[in-house]
Amino acid sequence: MHSVDYGKLDFSVPVEAIGIRSQFGSNVIHENLNLQLRSGEILGVVGGSGSGKSVLLNTLLGLKRPDGGVVNIFGHDRKNITESELKYFETRVGVLFQGGALFSSLNVRENIMVPMRLHTNLPVPLMRELADMKLNMVGLPMTAARLYPSDLSGGMRKRAGLARALALDPRILFLDEPTAGLDPVGATAFDELILELREALGLTIFMVTHDLDTLFATCDRVAVLVDKHIAIADTLDKVVRYDHPWVAEYFGGPRSRAAGLGDAR
């Protein structure tokens, strides 16, 4: 049982970046970056190659320490939280890394059980039962439980990774290019799954993506990462009208029109 004062947690803005600076040596990736993830929303983050989208995701997750600024999780500065608070936060956040990032030596059920083994003292039979529930939740058949990552299609690996991200019933879900590598039918099905899970589980979702169809289908707000900071974070109809060359190029091309965004500009 974690000794956390729930009354001091800010669930309305579960994740906030304030004045973030990120750099590798002399290469500055982010400068004075500000961003809020609001409770219950799906926030999509877009930006050009090398703009630091994955660096931002890793910084919010605590996998990379910012070189300046503050990351607040449930209203707490990540640098100042106690060990018990850190454990609580870790169990309230799920992550789907690009490609699924499954352990190749474990079958699907065992992969889903990994967070349970790390963060709970549940008996193994119950872990197996819960893992199978998560498997069903993401639309995989029970026959997939005993398969290994090498036996899975790309779409199945994504769903298995998503099941593992949901293993501890998180409040916040981080998705890194969730539809990359999927065919249009598979990508659409995954988008629909994300919306269903948000509704059913009350999730708050932070999504790094380049997929215009996914932005159009799922996101409540879109944040544009250009010039080392978040230039705008707003509804898609406002973002596509933002006056910036990268925004005009990204949202003004034929792929944008195919996704249904052409008229918005």
Tens of pLDDT along the chain (265 residues)? 445 565 667 678 889 999 999 999 999 999 999 999 999 999 999 999 889 999 999 999 989 999 999 999 888 888 888 888 888 888 899 999 887 789 999 999 999 999 999 999 999 999 999 999 999 999 999 999 999 999 999 889 999 999 999 999 999 999 999 998 889 999 999 999 999 999 999 999 999 999 999 999 999 999 999 999 999 999 999 999 999 999 999 998 665 545 555 555 5
Q: pTM score, two decimals?
A: 0.90
Helix, strand, or coil (residue 98):
coil
- C-alpha distances in Å from residue 183, one per residue of 94, 164, 178, 180, 253: 25, 22, 12, 9, 20
Nearest by Cα to 195 from 185, 207, 184:
207
pLDDT score recorded for residue 4: 58
H-helix or E-strand spanning residue 45: strand 42-47
pLDDT score recorded for residue 88: 84
Q: Are 151 and 111 in contact (CB under 8 A)?
A: no
For 227, residues 6+ apart whose C-beta sits below 8 A from its C-beta are: none
Q: What is the DSSP string of 4-28?
A: --GGG---SS-EEEEEEEEEETTEE
